[in-house]
Each structure stands twice: as C-alpha cells, then as structure tokens.
Chains A and B, each alone.
Chain A
Amino acid sequence: GENVEQHPSTLSVQEGDSAVIKCTYSDSASNYFPWYKQELGKGPQLIIDIRSNVGEKKDQRIAVTLNKTAKHFSLHITETQPEDSAVYFCAASLRNFGNEKLTFGTGTRLTIIP
C-alpha cells in the first residue's frame, strides 16, 4: 500500500518568516495530495490540495508544490502569523480510489514565535 512520510515532525519559525513542510510518497499511482490543518482541540480541516497534473498551486500565503518524478510534495507558508500555529498533515490518494484509500502523513507541529 501507499506510504507517506512527513518531515519535520516539529517546526518553529519566527513570525513573518516562511515555513516549509515536506512529504514523500511511495506509490507512483497516487494522483491527489491534500493538506489538512489541525488547530488545538479541533479536527483537521482541508487548506489546500494539488492534483498530479499540476506542479504548483497557490492560495494567498499558502502554496503547495509537487515533484512527481521524485515523488515528493511540499507545503509552503509565507509571512507566517500566530494563527498559523497548528499541526499540519499531508496525504496522498491513489488513482481510481477515493477517500477510503487516503493515506495521511504523521503530522508536523508548527509553532510561530511572536
């Protein structure tokens, strides 16, 4: 089955700096890569996603890049703010399968230092 590795497990950055979280996947048949943000005491919430036919996607201060050849994808957060502090999960989904085959990474706890 699919295996998703996520690094780092914890990340602290100064407010205003950028943060990068990286994930690698094992199955070249994976074609959809969402990112979820989990705030303290809450469930995860989708913040951005990317499909395998796209190399980069941006939404305001958040961007995701995908390198299919290397089988890795990354989340980039620019101009970080205190409300960006949360746990972030990457995930990968196999082509021709749905959410029942969504594999999550192990999470990155991001702390923004004021």
Chain B
Amino acid sequence: NAGVTQTPKFRILKIGQSMTLQCAQDMNHNYMYWYRQDPGMGLKLIYYSVGAGITDKGEVPNGYNVSRSTTEDFPLRLELAAPSQTSVYFCASSYSLDEYSPLHFGNGTRLTVT
C-alpha cells in the first residue's frame, strides 16, 4: 500500500492564482482530512470528509474548498491564493472518525504564495 499520496510536493503561486492540491489514499478509509502546518502553530484542520459526497468545515476553512467524489480522492482547492495561505499542507485519512482511530498522513505539500 502506498498509504496517503499528496501531489505536488512543492508549489509557488502568485497572489490571486488558483490551484488544487491532490490527495489520494489506497487504504479504503472513509474518513479524510486536510490540515495546514505553520511554524510554531501545530496542525490546524481545514476540512474533513466522512465519505464520498460528504464534507464539513474544520477550524480554518476560509479561502479553501474541497470535494469528495470517490472514497480514494480528497482534493483541496485554493481559489484566490493569498500570502496568508503560505504553509505546509497535509492530507490524512483514518479508518473511522473515532478519536482512537489513528490519522495516517501524507508527506505534505509546501506552498508559497508571493
């Protein structure tokens, strides 16, 4: 199993540009998450999904959109990139939403908005 795969690994955007961060998992997990990691700030939940067609906001959803058309894929969309969105983005999945179900993370996408 590849686990959770994120693409691209790095990206530089200009202010106002749009992009989609890709995330795919092959563990047949129903639950998927997007986090951002900023220096000294830990991990903040952006959006999560409990299954295909169902998504919900996390702690910091503004400026982002998600969709979940299949169990495997959970892309994160930035419509109008802003410098405040410069961060490292992690996608994760879990077997259940239960807090005892560990999160499996991808290796991240480092995004810089200039």
* Residues of chain A having any CB pair with chain B under 8 Å: 4, 6, 9, 32, 34, 36, 41-46, 49, 51, 89, 93, 97-102, 104-107
Number of A-B contacts (CB under 8 A): 66
Q: With contacts A98-B99, A99-B99 known, is A89 near B42, CB below 8 A? A: yes
In the complex, what's the smallest C-beta–C-beta distance from B56 to chain A, in angstroms? 7
Give the docked Cα–Cα distance between A73 and B26 (Å): 34
Give the docked Cα–Cα distance between A102 and B43 (Å): 10
Give the docked Cα–Cα distance between A97 and B99 (Å): 7
Whether the pair B41, A106 counts as a contact (CB closer than 8 A) is yes
The interface centre, meaning the residue of B43, B96, B98 with most chain A CB atoms within 10 A of its CB, is B43
Measured as residues with beta carbon below 8 angstroms from the partner, the interface class of chain B is 20 to 34
Q: Which listed residue (A43, A102, A104) contacts B106, Cβ 8 A?
A: A43
Give the docked Cα–Cα distance between A102 and B42 (Å): 12
Whether the pair B43, A99 counts as a contact (CB closer than 8 A) is no
A-B contact pairs, 11 of them (CB 8 A): A32-B99, A41-B107, A42-B108, A44-B90, A46-B102, A98-B97, A98-B98, A99-B33, A99-B101, A100-B48, A106-B41
Set of chain B residues within 8 Å of A41, measured between Cβ atoms? 107-108
The interface centre, meaning the residue of A42, A44, A99, A106 with most chain B CB atoms within 10 A of its CB, is A99
Give the docked Cα–Cα distance between A49 and B107 (Å): 21
Whether the pair A89, B43 counts as a contact (CB closer than 8 A) is yes
Q: Which listed residue (A99, A101, A105, A106) contacts B103, Cβ 8 A?
A: A99
